[in-house]
Chain A
Amino acid sequence: MKPLQMASVIAGLLAALVTCPSSAETIRVGIIATFSGPNAIWGKQFKEATEVYVAEHGDSINGDKIEFIYKDVAGPNADASKAAAQDLLVRDQVKYLGGFDFTPNALAVAPLITQAKVPAVIFNAATSSINKQSNFFLRTSFTLWQVSVPMANWAAANGAKTVITAVTDYNPGVDAETAFASAFEKKGGKIVSKIRMPLQTTDFAPFMQRIKDSGSDGVFAFLPAGPATFAFTKAYNEGGLKQAGIRFYGTGETDETTIDALGDQATGLVTAYHYSDAHESDLNTAFTAKLKQMFPSSRANLASVGAYDGVHLIYQMIKAAKGDGVKAIEAAKGLAWESPRGPVKLDPETRHVVQNVYIRRVEKDPQGRLINKEFDTVQQVPDLGFNP
C-alpha cells in the first residue's frame, strides 16, 4: 500500500472507532482506603460491600465495563492518599474516586479532584468541612453533627436534665462534644462538665469516678471504635454507673464490628446512628444476606453501607454522564434512593447525604447475637454542622 492509501485506511478505521455506537469503554474507579495495619478493617468493609454491590448489579453500564482499582494508604496518611490519587488519575485515568476512611486522607485530594474534575465519593470521613474544600466531593457516610444532635434532642425529650460529656481529645471528639452540648442546652438541659480524655488512654476508671461524682442523669460519650470503646464500656459497667442510674448516650460506639467483642456489657447502651445491620427493611435483609453469603465471617456496619451507597452513587453518575465529571456532579445533586439504611437523598447544596437517624438500644436477637435494635427514628436529618 502507498503511504497515502495507508493513511486513509487508518483514518477510516479511526473514524469508525469514534462513531461506532457500540464501542465499549472501560470506566475505571479508584478506591483509596486503609487495607493494612491496625485500621485495615475499613478497607476490608469497603471492598466487601463494593463487591456485593457489583455482584448484585453487574459490572457494566450501557455496555461500558466498570473496573475498580484499590489503593492502600495504611491508615490516616494524607501524603499517601494524595500520591495514590495522583497515580490513579494520571496513570490509570480513573473517572471516579471513592473510599476515604479518615478526614486527612479526603482533604489531601481536594485540589487534585478539583483540577481533574473527577468526582470523589467519601465512604466514611465524617468532618463537616470536607465538602467545602472541593465541589467534586460527595459523601454517603454521616457527620458527627448529624448523629450527635438527634442524640441530644432524644435525651432531653426522654427525661435527661443534666448530662456530663466524655469525649476523646481529638477532632471528631471535639465535634461530637460541641454538637451534643449546643443541642442539649438549646432544649433546656444542662451540661454539668466536659471531660476530654487523652487519645492514648485505655484505663477509664478515673473518668468513671468523675462521671459518677458529677451526679448527672447521663453521660454522652464519643470514642474511636476499638480498644478505647471496649475499655470505656467495660469501665462504665464495672464502675457501677449503670446501677447508679447514669444513662449512656453515644453514637458509633456499638458498631457491628465492635459489638461482639464488647459482649454482654454492651446490653442496654443507647446510641443514635444512621445504620444498624438489624435495620428492618427488605433491602437491608437482602444486602446483609448477600454479604454473609459472599463473606461468611463478615458483618455489615457503617463502613459497609457507606461504601454500598457510594458505589450506587457512582453507578448512577456513570449512567447519567459516563466519564464526564462536571455532568456527573450535576446529575448526583438531589438524587434520592432507597438504601439498606432507609430512604436517603443527596443534598444539592452540601453534596452530603440526608438520612434518617435512628435511636437504638443494644439487645440480643433471637439467635443470641448482639444487635443495635432501632426503636425511634428522626426523619431525614441533613449535615447539621455545615456552614457555607
Chain B
Amino acid sequence: MLVALSIIIDGVAYGMILFMISVGLSVTMGLMRIMNLAHGGFALIGGAIAHALTVRLGIDFVPAAILSIMTAVLISFALERIVYRPIYRLGELGQVLATIGVTFIIIAIVNFFLGSTLLPIRPPSFMTGSVTLGFKTLPMHRLIVIGAGAMVLVFLYWLIERTRFGIYLRASVDNHATAAALGINTSKIYAVTFALGAGLAALGGMLGAELLPLEAYYPLRYMVLFLTVVAVGGLGTITGSFAAAMGLGILDTGSRYLLSEFGTIVFFLAVMLLLSARPRGLLGRA
C-alpha cells in the first residue's frame, strides 16, 4: 500500500515534468503540423540561460526564470521568422532533417559558451526543503513542479478552447486558405503559437532540471522521451499529452520500484503495446 502511494506520488511529479516539456512539442507538431525535433533545444536554451544567470551572475531564481523564458521566447520568435518559415514548406522528411540540424546548432552554441559539463540551476530557498508525509519524504521542488504543471494544463485548455486566439489557431490549422480569406493573420498566429511552445519548453527545462539534468547534449539525450509522450498522447491534444505523461511517468516510476532489473524494457514494451492498439495515440485525432 505504502509502495503504491510512493509510486503514485513520484510518478505524478515525474509525469508533470514530462508533460510540461512535451506539451509544447505536441502543440507545434499537432496543431501546426511541423516535425520540430529541435523542441528539446528550447528547453535547453531556457535552462542554460537560467544557469548562466543564477550560478554565474548570482541573480535570484524568480527574476532569472522570467528573464530566461522571455529570452527563449524571443529567440524562438526570431528563429520562426528566419529559419522555420522555409521549413514549413518542406516535406516531412525535410522538416525532420532541417530541425535536427537546428538541434545540433543549438547544442554547439551552448557547448561553446558553457562547456559540455553539467549546468545546474541555483534553486530559490522556497524550493530546497523537503516535506515529510510520514511514510515518505517529498522534496519541495516536486510539489512546486506538480503545481506548475497543473497550472499550465488549465491555462492551455483555456487558451485554446475558450479564447479568440484559440479559435483563430484552430481555424488556421484546419484550413489555412479559408482562415486567411476570412481575414485571420495566419502567419502571426503561427509565430505566436511557436513561441508559446518554446516558452513552455523553457519553463519545463528549468523546473525539470532536478530530474532531467541540463547539459549541452540534453536535446538529444531526452529526445526519445519527449517524442514518446507526444506519440502516446496523440498529436495536437493537450489532454492526450497530459494523460500520456502521467501514465508513462507512473509506469516508469513503478517499474523502477518493483522491476528495476528489467531496466527500460517495461517502459518501451508498454509503449509498443499501446501504439499497436491505438496507432494515433491515446486521444489522437483520426
**Chain A residues within CB distance 8 Å of chain B:** 37-41, 169, 195-203, 205-207, 209-210, 226-227, 230-231, 234, 238-240, 257-258, 261-263, 297
Please indicate the chain A residues that have their CB under 8 angstroms from the CB of B139 in the complex. 205, 238-239
Near A by CB (< 8 A), chain B positions 180-234 give: 210-213, 215-217, 220-221
Which of B13, B115, B210 is the one whose CB lies under 8 Å from A234? B210
When chains A and B are docked, how far (Å) is the Cα of A377 from the Cα of B210?
Answer: 34
When chains A and B are docked, how far (Å) is the Cα of A262 from the Cα of B210?
Answer: 11
Q: Is A38 within 8 A of B215, CB to CB?
A: yes
**Which 8 residue pairs across A and B have the least CB separation, nearest first?**
A240-B137, A261-B118, A238-B139, A198-B263, A227-B213, A206-B256, A38-B217, A206-B257
Please indicate the chain B residues that have their CB under 8 angstroms from the CB of A206 in the complex. 6-7, 10, 253, 256-257, 260
Query: Interface on chain B toward A: helix, strand, loop, or mixed SS?
Result: mixed
Please indicate the chain A residues that have their CB under 8 angstroms from the CB of B215 in the complex. 38, 226-227
Q: Is A257 within 8 A of B117, CB to CB?
A: yes
Q: Is B257 within 8 A of A199, CB to CB?
A: no
Q: Is A263 within 8 A of B120, CB to CB?
A: yes
When chains A and B are docked, how far (Å) is the Cα of A196 from the Cα of B212?
Answer: 19
Which of B119, B132, B213, B216 is the one whose CB lies under 8 Å from A231? B213
| Nearest neighbor of A239 in chain B, beta-carbon distance | B137
B264 on interface, CB distance cutoff 8 Å: yes
Q: How many residues of B contact A (CB 8 A)?
A: 37
Known: A39-B116, A227-B213, A261-B117. 4 other contacts (CB 8 A): A196-B260, A206-B260, A209-B10, A240-B130
Report the minimum CB–CB distance from B28 to chain A (whole Å).
24
Given contacts A257-B117, A263-B120, contact A200 B210 (CB under 8 A): no
When chains A and B are docked, how far (Å) is the Cα of A359 from the Cα of B2?
Answer: 37
When chains A and B are docked, how far (Å) is the Cα of A339 from the Cα of B117?
Answer: 26
Q: Is B210 within 8 A of A261, CB to CB?
A: no
Q: Is B117 within 8 A of A240, CB to CB?
A: no
When chains A and B are docked, how far (Å) is the Cα of A231 from the Cα of B141?
Answer: 13
CB-defined A-B contacts under 8 Å, sample of 29: A38-B215, A38-B216, A38-B217, A38-B220, A40-B111, A41-B116, A41-B117, A196-B260, A196-B261, A200-B263, A200-B264, A202-B212, A203-B14, A205-B10, A205-B142, A206-B10, A206-B253, A207-B260, A209-B257, A226-B215, A227-B213, A230-B120, A238-B130, A238-B137, A238-B141, A240-B130, A261-B119, A261-B120, A262-B120
Q: Is A209 within 8 A of B6, CB to CB?
A: yes
When chains A and B are docked, how far (Å) is the Cα of A330 from the Cα of B77?
Answer: 65
Q: Is A40 within 8 A of B116, CB to CB?
A: yes
Please indicate the chain B residues that have their CB under 8 angstroms from the CB of A195 in the complex. 260
Report the minimum CB–CB distance from A239 to chain B (whole Å).
6
Please indicate the chain A residues that have their CB under 8 angstroms from the CB of B260 in the complex. 195-198, 206-207
Centre residue among A40, A169, A227, A263 by max chain B CB count within 10 A: A227
Which of A198, A209, A231, A263 is the one whose CB lies under 8 Å from B211? A231
Please indicate the chain A residues that have their CB under 8 angstroms from the CB of B263 in the complex. 169, 198-200
When chains A and B are docked, how far (Å) is the Cα of A231 from the Cα of B13?
Answer: 15
Centre residue among A198, A226, A257 by max chain B CB count within 10 A: A198
Please indicate the chain B residues that have their CB under 8 angstroms from the CB of A297 in the complex. 115
When chains A and B are docked, how far (Å) is the Cα of A257 from the Cα of B252?
Answer: 30
B85 on interface, CB distance cutoff 8 Å: no
Report the minimum CB–CB distance from B248 to chain A (whole Å).
12
Q: Is B120 within 8 A of A38, CB to CB?
A: no
When chains A and B are docked, how far (Å) is the Cα of A227 from the Cα of B13?
Answer: 19
Q: Is A227 within 8 A of B118, CB to CB?
A: yes
| Nearest neighbor of B17 in chain A, beta-carbon distance | A203
When chains A and B are docked, how far (Å) is the Cα of A87 from the Cα of B115?
Answer: 29
| Nearest neighbor of B119 in chain A, beta-carbon distance | A261
When chains A and B are docked, how far (Å) is the Cα of A15 from the Cα of B119?
Answer: 61
When chains A and B are docked, how far (Å) is the Cα of A238 from the Cα of B131?
Answer: 9
